[in-house]
Amino acid sequence: MVSLGDRRTQLALRDGSAMFDVGYLDSGELFEVATPRGAIDFDQPGLYNVGFDNNGNVLVSVLSGLARVVGLGGTGEINKGEMLTLLGQTAAEVALSRLNGQDAGRQVDDYYRYQYPNSYDGRYNNYDAYLSDPYYYDPSRRNVSYQYASSSIPGINDLDYYGDWQNVDGYGHAWRPRVEADWVPYQQGTWTNDYPYGPTWVSSEPWGYAPYHYGRWANVGNQWYWIPDAVNTTPTYAPALVAFVPLNDSNQIGWVPLGPGDSYAPRFYDNNWQPRYLTRANVVPAQLINLAIPGAVTVIPVDAFRTGRRPAQSQEG
């Protein structure tokens, strides 16, 4: 990774190959992949493959979208269905050709089988079928979840398969996973220390990325619901949306899922890489709406927390 910001993504590829699925680009945003032969800018949402051949040349395949290569000798566009071979670092050392339909179909088919294993039907092994599909298998046009949560949240496409959306009084449309009746959020998984974020929740549930790093949880009618931010808002990643609660036993640690409206001070670093810390001023446990819900607080030994043991193995109530 070269640079990563809200409006700038710059990556470096030195060997092998990689597929890039660019779902959204706002005006002025940059998504660029640097290679030893030049940089490739993705100018439109689409599906791209960048890799090296056996001679060290860089191959840029635009399966859908529009790309631009920037080398020492100038720039050039690569349109949908085209492949550019970068033989050197000047404009004279490039070769533009049409994609081989069989190879392109295989790339697209492999990608969608990996990305959507529960719903992809194999339709894109024929590259012409992929080109003629105006939505490029866009899950936002098929999945209910995209109606109620921002499409920018990673993992949204998993929610339809593992749960259901309901209109919950006071919260609007909320998502409930298909789980056992005594299930509680933030118990099926482990804690890890992810620099620079600090304690980060890693769920073992197949749907567990989006609901644990975005939005909040509410208990309504003895059932837990994930409450996402509004569709038209810009989501902000959090390592874990919980509050660690004080306990009488110093050898134990406990946490509770944050509910809508609960204060949260992310332990991110700011733009100047200065840390932000939690204080009593920005988190008051007595105000947490889920603190009074039976079973909502998970308690484990401190040693289990440090070593990443699963809470379900150490749950005390």
Same domain, 41 and 81: yes
Q: Is there a single domain that holds both residue 222 and residue 300?
A: yes
Of 79, 111, 137, at which residue does a domain stop?
137
Each of the 317 residues of the chain gets a pLDDT tens digit; together they read 566 666 778 899 999 999 998 877 777 888 999 998 889 999 998 999 999 998 888 999 999 999 998 865 567 899 999 999 888 665 457 788 999 999 999 999 999 999 878 778 898 999 999 988 866 566 666 789 989 999 889 888 889 999 999 999 999 999 999 999 999 999 999 999 887 778 899 999 999 999 999 999 999 999 999 999 988 888 888 999 998 887 888 888 889 999 998 887 655 455 555 545 444 455 555 578 899 899 999 999 988 887 776 775 444 44
In this predicted structure, what is the pLDDT of residue 22?
87
Q: Do 223 and 79 fall within a single domain?
A: no
Residues 119 and 158 in one domain: no
Determine the Cα–Cα distance for residues 217 and 228; give it in Å rounded to an integer: 9
Question: pTM of this prediction?
Answer: 0.64
Q: Hey, is 234 helix, strand or coil?
A: coil
Whichever domain contains 82, its CATH number is 2.60.120.1440
Q: What is the predicted pLDDT for the residue at 245? A: 83
Range of the domain at 115: 103-137
Count how many domains the chain has. Answer: 3
Q: Do residues 305 and 215 both lie within one domain?
A: yes
Asked whether residue 307 falls in the same domain as residue 188, the answer is yes
d(CA 224, CA 163): 12
Task: Give the number of C-alpha atoms closer than 13 A to the C-alpha of residue 97, restricted to the C-beta side.
Answer: 9
Distances (CA, A) of 277 to 128, 213, 266: 53, 18, 8
Record the tokens describing residue 79, joined without a space. 């349109």
For the record, the structure tokens of 248 come out as: 């009488």
pLDDT at 317: 45
237 shares its domain with 184 = yes
| Tokens at 82, concatenated | 């085209």
Q: Token pair for residue 101? A: 């339909």
**Residue 190's pLDDT is what?**
92
Pair 285, 295: CB distance under 8 Å: no
Is residue 176 domain-shared with residue 296, that is, in the same domain? Answer: yes
Same domain for 250 and 283? Answer: yes
Cβ neighbours for 40, distance < 8 A, ≥ 6 positions apart: 32, 33, 34, 48, 50, 60, 67, 68, 69, 70
Burial of 201 (0-12, 13-18, 19+ CB in 10 A): buried
Residues 258 and 165 in one domain: yes
Clarify whether residues 195 and 55 are in a common domain: no
- Asked whether residue 81 falls in the same domain as residue 178, the answer is no
pLDDT in the model for residue 159: 94
